[in-house]
Amino acid sequence: MNTTDSVSSLALDCVRQLVPYVPGKPIEELERELGISNIIKLASNENPLGPGKKALAAIQSALPLLTLYPDGNGFNLKSALAKKYSLHTDQITLGNGSNELLELVARAFLAPGLEAIFSEHAFAVYPIVTQAVGATPIVVPALNYGNDLEAMAAWITAKTRVVFIANPNNPTGTLLRQTDLDKFIAGLPSHCLCLLDEAYFEFVGSQAEINSLDWLKIHPNLIITRTFSKAYGLAGLRMGYSLSSPEIADILNRVRQPFNNNSLALAAAEAALSDDEYLQQTIAVNNQGMSDLTAGFESLGLEWIPSAGNFIAVDLKRPGQPVYEALLRLGVIVRPIANYGMPNHLRISIGTQAENQFFLKALEKTLANV
């Protein structure tokens, strides 16, 4: 056995057929390629404010503990989350980013012969975790770029184990009405879990008329995932969590690594959770940025998909890839989303006021030349 080909043929078919996740381009990579600095990245829905002071201070204090294994049960962080959300700690599972929770759910509940349902234009990790365990992805056509709950319900069969729903959805930013979600979850058969991915829930605010956590009291088959990567500004530390029935948390706990969260992430997340000022500032900057960007799109004659997240998909009415590449040359990294079935859109993460203005100028210049 001496070629890479023959070795890779040993991998499971379902893994060989996987298309890897394409992340946003890192700033350092573009710096290396173009030899320029002052690059702005509006490509991965990160918090433009940088990490909060409380989180940074907690990391400093935790540094001397780095020789020790972290608390594998995340007692302090789970206690803080349980208190904040009025839940029990046995309903919480911590993950290396909420991404890991998606993977744990797939590993625990999906297998060849079983099906997972998600929408067209849904988060790219759902097909990956589904296919990685040999289960069958069922992709349901979107309704106005969002989850079509009625159509998704109609696709449920005896083989369905998980329905993945991001609310708001990434990359489209579409928001479902909580009353519609409520009805959908209540109507699920008992052999079928709902994974409600709320990575952006902090940005939704008063647009959500029902608290989704209330559903946990009545639906043992509901898993809600949230993250410290977006509104809490800690994407680099990898910390997310799920809220569910204790039964599901117990199952997820069996398949996770014993020390899946590092000690700096645990300490920082706990501190970040109490940093209301940072969170409020984040939301204010996002709201202002959202209106600045949409005003900018309007004056450029562009349409966009109304977004409840910290990003927005703009419709260029022409292929996005050349525009993306031209923006790179001007030092702006955004996200092409052709791989989400949206070749004419670009997804822009909301930045600081200065970043948003820089981007809009670069976009204007680019559209005039490309």
Ligand X SMILES: *Cc1c(COP(=O)(O)O)cnc(C)c1O
Question: Hey, is 52 helix, strand or coil?
Answer: coil
Identified binder of ligand X from the candidate list 93, 99, 174, 242, rule CB under 6 A: 99
# residues near ligand X by CB under 6 A: 13
Beta strand pairing call for 115-119 and 160-166: parallel
Binding to ligand X, residues 157-176 (CB under 6 A): 166, 170
CB 93 within 8 A of CB 104: yes
What are the φ/ψ torsions at residue 205 (nearest 5 degrees)? 60, -135
Q: Tell me whether residue 98 or residue 366 sits nearer to ligand X (CB atom).
A: 98
Sign of CA dihedral 16, 19, 25, 30: positive
Identified binder of ligand X from the candidate list 47, 93, 98, 356, rule CB under 6 A: 98
Smallest separation, CB 366 to ligand X (Å): 25
Identified binder of ligand X from the candidate list 58, 199, 216, 237, rule CB under 6 A: 199
Peptide bond before 168: cis, by omega within 30 degrees of 0?
A: yes
With CB atoms as reference, the residue minimizing the distance to ligand X is 97
Smallest separation, CB 283 to ligand X (Å): 17
Written as six digits, the tokens of 101 are: 């929770």
Binding to ligand X, residues 66-85 (CB under 6 A): none
DSSP character at residue 234: -
Smallest separation, CB 279 to ligand X (Å): 16
CB 25 within 8 A of CB 42: no
Site string for ligand X, 100-129 (x = CB under 6 A): -----------------------x------
Residue 131 found at the interface with ligand X (CB under 6 A): no
- Quote the radius of gyration of the chain (alpha carbons, Å): 21
Identified binder of ligand X from the candidate list 103, 115, 120, 197, rule CB under 6 A: 197
Burial category of 187 from C-beta neighbours within 10 Å (exposed 0-12, middle 13-18, buried 19 and up)? exposed
Site string for ligand X, 206-235 (x = CB under 6 A): ---------------------x-x-----x
Beta strand pairing call for 115-119 and 136-140: parallel
Binding residues vs ligand X (CB under 6 A): 45, 97-99, 123, 166, 170, 197, 199, 227, 229, 235, 240
